[in-house]
Amino acid sequence: MIRKIIHIDEEKCNGCGACVTACHEGAIGLVNGKAKLMRDDYCDGFGDCLPGCPTGAITFEEREAAAYDEQAVLENKQKKAAAAAAPAHSGCPGHQMHQFDRKAAPASAAGAAMPSQLGQWPCQIKLVPVNAPYFNGAKLLIAADCTAYAYANIHQEFMQGRITLIGCPKLDAVEYSEKLTAILSQNDIRSVTVLRMEVPCCGGLEHAAVTALKNSGKFIPWQVVTFSIDGRILDR
């Protein structure tokens, strides 16, 4: 059938992921750092994703496309929800949940190795369970992958005393906001700190965290810290 449906200009897309979060039907995903319409029958043609695009990469077009399938969208949402609530360990040893008893890092002599302050395993957003003992009363750190490499003191200054979740919206073809919303709404999270780089694609991580905070229905203190690509703190 000929109908109105979104069109994404990959040349204009910066991979920020704002449209992925804005699309409640799950029609858009990030593939190789670019937004992509995953299935025509998931797009309702209403264009909730258009206002959120900072580069104007999304427009409407009329073309041959499958009809919007509300039942398929609902089943996909249920599938995602089930995956988000899956047990922490389902076979792969690398996914098995661990919590570490970290002590405050003492002052070290010049040249001495500083201890890790990672509080739990796994730490990837897409792998961490929604419910875990370490979330009880936790201060949550949601960090872009690159921040740990750009800012040398991230363990002592930011990770110490927090539960760390890391991800990259440009590389992971997943929607973070649903998972983060479940974590915030179903656990006693005391605060949220978001670490991001200055590059536009990191806006997707910040957007997902802010969306999750709003959707959680809770008042949780939060802050965003932005780093330059040469390792300076630009904003906090």
Q: How many domains does the chain have?
A: 2
135 three-state secondary structure:
helix
* CATH label of the domain that carries residue 11: 3.30.70.20
Quick one: average pLDDT of 12-34?
Answer: 85
Determine if the pTM surpasses 0.85.
no
pLDDT in tens, 108-161: 555 567 789 998 989 999 889 898 889 999 999 999 999 999 999 999 999 999
CB 105 within 8 A of CB 158: no
Domain of residue 170, CATH code? 3.40.50
Confidence of residue 21 (pLDDT cuts 50, 70, 90): confident
- Same domain? 46 vs 133: no
Mean confidence (pLDDT) of the chain: 86
The label of the residue with tokens 């258009």 reads 50
Same domain flag for 120 and 226: yes
What are the structure tokens assigned to 203, written together? 């806006």
Which whole number is the average pLDDT over 213-219? 92
Q: Is residue 110 part of a domain?
A: no
Let me know if residue 133 belongs to a domain: yes
Residues 78 and 138 in one domain: no
Task: Give the pLDDT band of residue 210 (cuts 50, 70, 90).
Answer: very high
For residue 106, what pLDDT is reported? 60
72-89 average pLDDT score? 73
Q: Do 59 and 122 have their domain in common? A: no
Residue 135 and residue 218 in one domain: yes
User: Domain span at residue 208?
Assistant: 115-235
**127 and 229 share one domain:** yes
Q: Is residue 103 part of a domain?
A: no
